[in-house]
Amino acid sequence: MAHDDELALLRAADPVPGDDIRYRDRPLPGHAERQLNLLLHSAPETPRSAPAARRGPARQVRRLVWGIEMVSLAVAAALALVLAGSGSAPAAAAPHPLTLRSGSTPLPLDRIAARASASASAENAPRLRKGTHIRTWSLALGSGPGAEAPITLPEERVTRWRPDGSHTELVVATDPRRPGKPVIADGADGPRTVHDGKVLSDRTYPPSRGTAPPQSRPPHTPKALRGYLAELSRPSDPAPLTDTRELLDAVAMFLRHWTPGADETAALARILADADGLRPAGTVTDRLGRTGQAYVHESDGLRRILILDPADGTVLGLEDTVTENDPTYGVKAGDVMSYSAWVR
């Protein structure tokens, strides 16, 4: 087929529609910047003959990198300067891993799913809302000789959608662990210290109405929502999500765009209750001081703690912690790679 004919077919297919929010020019969230930094500095693939003990952390780093599907060289180069700046200020202390309450009784996920279902049938139950309010802590990494020590970037992000399809996004530097104290922010001159509460960006985006997740309205039954999460996780191959790691990634992505209502929360709780390897671990106090039930999944050098409200199954937070040392990136077992706390 002629080159011009191929271009004509590609344009007709419109693989990157202009009104799809996923392809708009916008600042990357902290977790994406962290993944890009890993991509820029990741070591070559470990040979198959390498000892299993040394493959674990590298495998985990590569798994995080695989979450990025398409990255332009221009963006990569810009982020390399941002995350590897030589004039950065002293880093804020990384958050400690969450600690389970001693003697607390783990609550089975089936019990949480039943409570969530009961809450959904109550009068004045919360309804689905597009937009989110989230606080995040992301660990920015470097590698190789002369690389800076990992730093934690804390921020708060509020996204609100308007009836015409436009939306606003406010990003503020804040760290509830150290109220009123300086925190680390990321900028063109590299990571730097800013005042708690400093507005990092306040933007309004034009109308955008896509027909695929996360733009499309999520369903509120377990089967349909499971399919929605699969399409959100792998748009080109929305096969059922059988890997709990992928499921948790998809849940986090979903919650960065939508605030579930009671029906969606009940459906999500049922999906999580049916997931493999997500074990109840007991009561925990999250980073915003809320009491929740912790559910742990461990795989390939990463420990993930999902925190749910025991009363109605609402997702409160998600923490990723390294379980093995990786001197290449300056991380040790117990370091918190990222944490997200959803504010209701």
Residue 246's SS3 state is helix
Alpha-carbon span 74 to 302, nearest angstrom: 30
Least confident among 1-5, 30-34, 190-194, 299-303? 30-34
Q: How confident is the model at residue 182 (pLDDT cuts 50, 70, 90)?
A: confident
* pLDDT, tens only, 18-30: 444 344 444 454 4
78 has a pLDDT exceeding 50: no
216 has a pLDDT exceeding 70: yes
132 vs 43, which has greater pLDDT? 132
Question: What is residue 240's predicted lDDT score, i.e. its pLDDT?
Answer: 83
Peptide bond into 126 cis (omega under 30): no
Question: What is residue 14's predicted lDDT score, i.e. its pLDDT?
Answer: 55
Residue 184's SS3 state is strand
Which is nearest to 116 in space by CA: 282, 250, 293, 300? 293
Q: What average pLDDT does range 108-123 have in this prediction?
A: 96
pTM, two decimal places: 0.73
167-173 vs 199-205, strand pairing mode:
antiparallel
Least confident among 21-25, 117-121, 195-199, 281-285? 21-25
| H/E segment holding residue 8 | helix 3-13
